Structure 1
Amino acid sequence: MRGLSIRRARPEDLPLLVRRLEQRRYFADRLDRQRDGRGVLLTAWQGEVVVGDVYLWLEEAEEPEIQTHLPGTPLVTHLEVHPGLWRKGIGTELIRASERLLALKGYRHVALAVVLGNADVERLYLNLGFREWQHGHVKCYASSDGNGHRAAETCKVLVKDLSG
């Protein structure tokens, strides 16, 4: 997308993120985790307007299956593009920027989870070179509803080799 820039979120971005994408608790938490080195919140911008984000989870995975089969592997989470800008390549650019950053940090693989039945999102990741792992589906937990409640979802895990 023309005029798109992607960069690490800054603490002063919080009001802009919330105004455009809502989710105050989520973004505040991810900025705190980023400050502590537990992840990276990348944001996509058109000029001064935030149009998307993705969070790179660098902590140990919450899901036991991922801990067992992919220890120390970063996870792409919460890929989000403003609804009025879907299918314009912003999500793809966020993923590519994530992969470049992780490869520069020395990671050899990246993983993510896709809720079963979300065919459009799964197709995006498959087209970007992710492949379904061989260990079956996992129970994933969606972000908190703001009150600390997290919904369990059944997900496919997709993995990409960053070394090539």
Structure 2
Amino acid sequence: MGLCELSDVLFPGIELRVERVYVAGRSLFVDAIGTAPPGRCPDCGNGARRVHSRYWRRLADRPVGGREVFVRLRVRRFLCDIPMCRRQTFVEQVEGFTRSHGQSSLAMRDLARFVAVELGAVRESASADGWRCPADGRHSFACCRRRWSRPGPRGSWE
């Protein structure tokens, strides 16, 4: 078995380079940079040539080894060089990892959806019991996490 990079373990098949990893309590913090070539303007499809700026984006990722994972991703904002294009700048999206305006990785979103769907029947019946869980997956997942952290009657998580 050959050597592999930490990015291959944490983000298999995704064009990211891990710059720094640190642990604080039950959380794992990862600083990463996208390594893909510049993207295309989402409006006109023109390939980006110029970088406008860079900034840090914070995303929650799926747990690893029983620890919450938070990624601080350095992304580039590009300029669209087409004068007729309404979008003057756009931010790179790391394929298979990010989406526009997302606060979690695609893998974490899929995990939250899976849990929300699996617990859908619980959420439906629980709303009648005063849980007040919202209907969208992200919030119902957070609601279920809050409920799991508090024991219910007779030692159940109900």
TM-score by length of 1: 0.26
Higher relative contact order (CA 8 A, sep 6+): 1
**Which structure has the larger Rg?**
2
TM-score by length of 2: 0.27
